């Protein structure tokens, strides 16, 4: 009975979902808090093959049992995600990773430097790994991350197994950095969401593939490539290969409903204008031109810009130029894919 005090059902919505009209009809998605009772409830749901959205330091992830074909199928179904797009597996430690994948010397060095944290590595599967084939989309490799967020780590400990957890949003749409964003996109389609507040990094993890002939960069993300190159030497960019081998490599992704225009001079008064630095705009990623702040704000600002575009009947969202260095590369990657239709 104590658990019922920590769970709110969306038939009686609180402030978190005041704009989420789709949930009002369903009333099925629980909102949990990341305390002991909430974490225990999450673990029970996951063991039953259900899906729970969880906060990570990057964005909210849609978690399901990575060893369960049914749970993984539910992830693809809830998101409307193409089955060729593999899922990232989350584990609590490098030791747990080594039980399902093979780490070479470079991978171990990267793990020591950046795990737990916003780095995903694509690694060869180990024999007897036990993961569902749906996780890897039939590939012989698996994308793995050791997250740092305390709520996600608590769930991993309570659940006791690997979790597949792509971003908790409809496929192709803006990634969620708050529980409200999750509910707006997936409310009624998933069992629960843990409200852990806004995500600190704000963009998805950087993805690399350490191999014998060098390390490939498959997606820019929350760790700038310069930090990785300090360990690996120059990365080989392999952002959109002919065969998708990691999440975030589809050409169209992260998109708002309204058309997005990047590198805009922000001179269209009919558009919702998103600035960077000291420029006149409706919204700003960072008034001081700080790339870390801009990365943290990116998806929240895109959600707000899209909502304003809908309310005003604006034809498009225009975004100011972003420097293509450090975290700016990850921001520009997301904006380019969001603008691709």
Binning pLDDT at 50, 70 and 90, where does residue 254 land?
Answer: confident
Same domain, 68 and 161: yes
Residue 24 has pLDDT above 80, yes or no: no
325 assigned to some structural domain = yes
Q: Is 274 helix (H, G, I), strand (E, B) or coil?
A: strand
309 assigned to some structural domain = yes
310 assigned to some structural domain = yes
* Number of domains composing the chain: 2
Binning pLDDT at 50, 70 and 90, where does residue 23 land?
Answer: very low
Residue 341 has pLDDT above 90, yes or no: no
pLDDT at 243: 61
Tell me if 94 sits within 8 A of 115, measured CB to CB. Answer: yes
Phi, psi dihedral angles at 20 (to 5 degrees): -100, 85
- Look over the chain and give the mean of its residue pLDDT values, rounded to a whole number: 90
pLDDT at 33: 97
% of the chain with per-residue pLDDT over 70: 89
114 assigned to some structural domain = yes
Same domain, 321 and 189: no
Same domain, 208 and 335: no
Binning pLDDT at 50, 70 and 90, where does residue 252 land?
Answer: low
Same domain, 291 and 210: no
Binning pLDDT at 50, 70 and 90, where does residue 83 land?
Answer: confident
Same domain, 8 and 71: yes
Same domain, 150 and 280: no
pLDDT at 21: 33
pLDDT at 10: 35
- Higher pLDDT, residue 51 or 4: 51
Q: List the CATH number of the domain containing 324.
A: 3.40.50
CA distances in angstroms from 208 to 88, 103, 214, 252, 318, listed in the order given: 12, 13, 10, 20, 30
Same domain, 230 and 266: no
* Residue 273 structural domain: 260-339
252 assigned to some structural domain = no
Same domain, 230 and 264: no
pLDDT at 19: 35
Same domain, 151 and 228: yes
Could you tell me how far CA 143 lies from the centroid of its own chain?
13
pLDDT at 247: 75
208 assigned to some structural domain = yes
247 assigned to some structural domain = no
pLDDT at 245: 76
Tell me if 279 sits within 8 A of 285, measured CB to CB. Answer: no
Q: List the CATH number of the domain containing 28.
A: 3.90.870.10
Binning pLDDT at 50, 70 and 90, where does residue 237 land?
Answer: confident
Residue 107 has pLDDT above 70, yes or no: yes
Same domain, 128 and 202: yes
Same domain, 326 and 183: no
Q: Which long-range contacts (CB under 8 A, 24 or more apart) does 112-116 make?
A: 113/231, 114/223, 114/227, 114/228, 115/145, 115/146, 116/146, 116/147, 116/148, 116/153
CA distances in angstroms from 89 to 100, 164, 166, 271, 300, listed in the order given: 10, 4, 8, 39, 25
pLDDT at 253: 73
pLDDT at 240: 63
Binning pLDDT at 50, 70 and 90, where does residue 155 land?
Answer: very high
Same domain, 137 and 224: yes
265 assigned to some structural domain = yes
Tally the residues of the chain: 341
């Amino acid at each position: 009975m104590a658990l019922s005090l920590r769970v709110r059902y969306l038939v009686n919505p609180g402030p978190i979902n005041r704009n989420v009209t789709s949930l009002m009809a369903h009333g099925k998605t629980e909102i949990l808090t990341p305390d002991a009772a909430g974490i225990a409830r999450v673990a029970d749901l996951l063991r039953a093959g259900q899906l729970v959205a969880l906060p990570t330091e990057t964005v909210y992830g849609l978690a399901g049992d990575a060893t369960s074909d049914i749970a993984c199928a539910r992830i693809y179904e809830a998101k409307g995600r193409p089955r060729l797009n593999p899922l990232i597996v989350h584990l609590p430690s490098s030791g747990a990773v080594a039980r399902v994948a093979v780490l070479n010397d470079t991978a171990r060095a990267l793990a020591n430097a950046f795990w737990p944290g916003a780095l995903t590595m694509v690694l060869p599967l180990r024999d007897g790994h036990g993961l569902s084939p749906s996780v890897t989309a039939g590939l012989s490799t698996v994308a793995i991350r050791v997250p740092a967020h305390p709520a996600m780590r608590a769930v991993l400990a309570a659940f006791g197994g690997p979790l597949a957890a792509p971003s908790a949003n409809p496929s192709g749409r803006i990634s969620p950095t708050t529980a409200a964003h999750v509910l707006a996109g997936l409310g009624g389609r998933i069992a629960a969401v843990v409200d852990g507040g806004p995500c600190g990094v704000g963009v998805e993890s950087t993805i690399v593939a350490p191999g014998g002939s060098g390390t490939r960069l498959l997606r820019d993300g929350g760790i700038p490539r310069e930090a990785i190159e300090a360990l690996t030497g120059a990365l080989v960019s392999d952002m959109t290969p002919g065969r998708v081998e990691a999440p975030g490599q589809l050409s169209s992704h992260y998109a708002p409903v309204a058309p997005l225009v990047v590198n805009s001079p922000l001179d269209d008064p009919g558009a919702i204008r998103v600035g960077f630095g000291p420029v006149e705009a409706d919204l700003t990623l960072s008034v001081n031109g700080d790339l870390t702040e801009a990365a943290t704000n990116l998806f929240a600002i895109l959600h707000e810009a899209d909502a304003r575009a809908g309310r005003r009947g604006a034809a498009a969202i225009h975004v100011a130029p972003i420097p293509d260095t450090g975290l700016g590369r990850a921001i520009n990657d997301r904006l380019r894919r969001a603008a691709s239709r």
